[in-house]
Structure 1
């Protein structure tokens, strides 16, 4: 009996990796609800920050790009850098991609993955099935990796606090905040767009709190990009060109440099099209850090420090953390303790080889889990074009 490769996760990276493996004749089983995070953990009305050219899920054969989906389904054509992609359309595109190339995606949860004495992997599913795979690809995206600031973590986890603090990934319908005062902690695209959507949904006031001054900023419109620099899916710059086309070389940089690139390059910055919707609707408090969060009178109270020993209090009806995600293999609870202990990691992320393989033979990671090895390209859908062919080539040679 031929043992398949198990792909855990059915978002863009999982679907793309599976498509490339199948094209190479590798038996594959894909587990997860297709595009679930995009459909369930992104706010309704959200627009993708990436341009259409940077928003296609890579496939080994032509005819499966975002523009092909638009033409096939009659969806608004997304072609120009000025076209803004609705998250609902992108989720539908992922479903279309899966239906055409991977009709056997299994909407079940992988409960556990453990190593067998023979070196294969035993997977247990919530359906009760147990089977062996010769290799495993982890492509679970951001699921379970939400980062909550330490000062807010205790209040967020307190069941008696009544959900006064949450993370952006917890919300799909922002109309629940109509008539409320909301504080959003963070200054990246997620923070700024969620703030705008809540203001547009009728929140009585929305305020951004950012640690550094000048943190709230917006990118340049397509016609204001540098003209003498190479064009990339993220903007025009030599540094972006290098990171987009030579991600494998990032692996050879010292760990501090790799983590810095992931954190800072293409980091907190609002999309150009969000500026006009933001201005006049959302208040901003910059240069303040949250040092404490507590409940008082059924409302969250934040203590803010601005340096020099000066502090202030800020009260709201709800506090939303837009503080991103942090890769940590400890959060991947389906991986057996033995597997996690055997993984060589760097700041919680698996250290990967050129084929996206970890220190455990046959255990591969792609997408955000690979960012600390291959750089910020792995944080974006366009990174499937780089990751999937390399991962599939590495796995197609395994017996």
Structure 2
């Protein structure tokens, strides 16, 4: 049987996985718009927090690193830890990688994925049935879900009161992923909720676009920035994320991560390399945006479509903060229920932990032939799966496992 493998998603993890499958001679069909999350859901002018070493999309053969792209494009090489990568350069790198290694990419959407029935009593499954936005139905031997951040934007429940129909760029409350052009807030009062890179860079870009920005964070001293590369300890192992034994282990030895207790795994995913601004963002942020530290946000309302946050301060008092718009820079949360292309029957079969798929060897889920890579794999393989450099570990292992599977 020569059924293809379906790879859903054409970001770094989808493209890298497809390239490795093709190198093993496995028929593959890849669906999605290349680098769409980076192209459409990140702000113009954004700079990547990751270093060049942490930004290579893994390929099965030499010649496809970020440096190789720079050489091919005739632009200065990005190699040092203090080299900063514009998002436009990274998108162009992803497009170049796709054109060279995944040229057969199909720019259609997968509408549904369902398990095909068995061919007889005691027989094995014959794969998955996929429906495309083009109307085509076809059978795949296996399915790799590599949809990145799509559909996983997290809006805390305390902000939902001002956005009963969900976050929207034209409503009172939006998510940071919904803004490509922040110049629309020029001359307006903007509140940004969050203390991570997404929130702080959104605030910096908005102030540079002429907005009056207040950043609302929970906890005193919550706004922090990374240490410049030249100030990091020299006698600790180097990793793509900095010099630390813990980061080195999580980057290069994520194999045993899935055997840790579930509570610890989920904690590490959220807190290792958690909310922190890039070292180079400090000068663009400090003194430009107002910071309001609160004990917690109680609720959000939107009388006359103008958002008002009710917060509790550290001294126990209640205070109201208002603006023309609120942007939630509150990150992403994996939830199988948000992957609406998976049939209800498949979702019922999947073993999950706090909404994330439980993955075994080779990134395979509890449903044989259904694989997850990228952010949905972080709860099983660690924080490295939140970053592009995670492709170096994930893609070859997933491809080899799938090639060896009797599907």
Instruction: Write the distance in 2 (CA, Å) between the matches of 1:242 and 1:73.
Output: 34
- 1:115-154 matches, within 5 Å, as 115-118=115-118, 119=125, 120-154=127-161
Alpha-carbon distance, 1:159 to partner: 8.3
Deviations 1:161-196 (A, max 9, x none): 951100001010111111111000000000000000
Equivalent residue, structure 2, for 1:195: 203
Counterpart in 1 of 2:107? 107
1:136 is paired with a residue whose SS is strand
1:308 CA displacement = 5.7
User: 1:377 — aligned with what?
Assistant: 384
Matches of 1:243 and 1:354 in 2, distance apart?
Answer: 17
1:2-41 equivalent positions in 2, closer than 5 A: 2-41=2-41
Aligned match of 2:186: 178
Q: Does 1:285 align with 2:262?
A: no
Quote how far apart the aligned CAs of 1:397 are. Answer: 1.4
Q: Closer, same or farther in 2 for the Cα pair 1:207/1:359, shift >3 Å?
A: same
Q: Distance in 1 between matches of 2:214 and 2:77?
A: 35
Contact 1:209 1:288 in 2 (8 A): no
Provide, for residues 335-392 of structure 1, a one-character-per-residue CA deviation record: whole Å limited to 9, x for no partner. 0000000000000000001200000000000000100000100000000000001100
User: Kindly tell me: are residues 124 and 160 of structure 1, through their superposed partners in 2, closer, same or farther at Cα, counting changes over 3 Å?
Assistant: closer
Corresponding residue for residue 268 of structure 2: 261
With normalisation by structure 2, the TM-score equals 0.96
User: How far apart, in 2, do the equivalents of 1:117 and 1:345 lie?
Assistant: 23
- Matched residue of 1:82: which SS? coil
Is 1:235 matched up with 2:251? Answer: no
**Structure 2 equivalent of residue 321 of structure 1:** 328
SS of the counterpart of 1:241?
helix
Distance 2:76 2:311 in 1: 45
- Which of 358, 363, 375 matches 1:351? 358
Give 1:55's aligned residue.
Answer: 55
Matches within 5 A, 1:209-224: 209-224=216-231
The CA deviation at 1:160 is 12
Query: CA separation of 1:2/1:158 partners in 2, compared to 1, >3 Å: closer, same or farther?
Result: closer
Q: Does 1:301 align with 2:308?
A: yes
Q: Secondary structure in 2 aligned to 1:210? A: strand
Contact 2:171–2:305, Cα closer than 8 Å, also in 1:
no
**Per the alignment, in what secondary structure is the counterpart of residue 183 of structure 1?**
strand
- The offset of 1:283, in angstroms, is 0.8
Give the Å deviation of 1:106. 0.5
| CA distance, structure 1, for counterparts of residue 295 and residue 163 of structure 2 | 20
Shift of 1:307: 5.0
- Which runs of 5 or more structure 1 residues have no equivalent in the other structure? none
Distance 1:160 1:25 in 2: 43
The answer for the alignment partner of 1:98 in structure 2 is: 98
Q: What is the correspondence of 1:72-91 to structure 2 with a 5 Å cutoff?
A: 72-91=72-91
How far did residue 158 of structure 1 move? 4.1
Deviation of the 1:306 alpha carbon = 2.2
C-alpha separation between the residues in 2 aligned to 1:148 and 1:208?
16
Equivalent residue number for residue 122 of structure 2? none
Name 2:375's counterpart in structure 1: 368
Aligned residues: 398
| Residues in 1 aligned to 2:109 and 2:374: alpha-carbon distance in whole angstroms | 19
Contact persistence 1:165–1:300 (CA under 8 A): yes
Cα deviations by residue, 1:44-83 (Å, 9 ceiling, x for unpaired): 0000000001101000100000000000011332111111
In structure 2, C-alpha distance between the alignment counterparts of 1:391 and 1:92, rounded to whole Å: 26
SS, match of residue 163 in structure 2? helix
Please give the TM-score of this superposition, normalised by the length of structure 1: 0.98
Unmatched tracts of structure 2, length 5 or more: 119-124
For the aligned residue pairs, the C-alpha RMSD in angstroms reads: 1.3
The aligned counterpart of 2:65 is 65
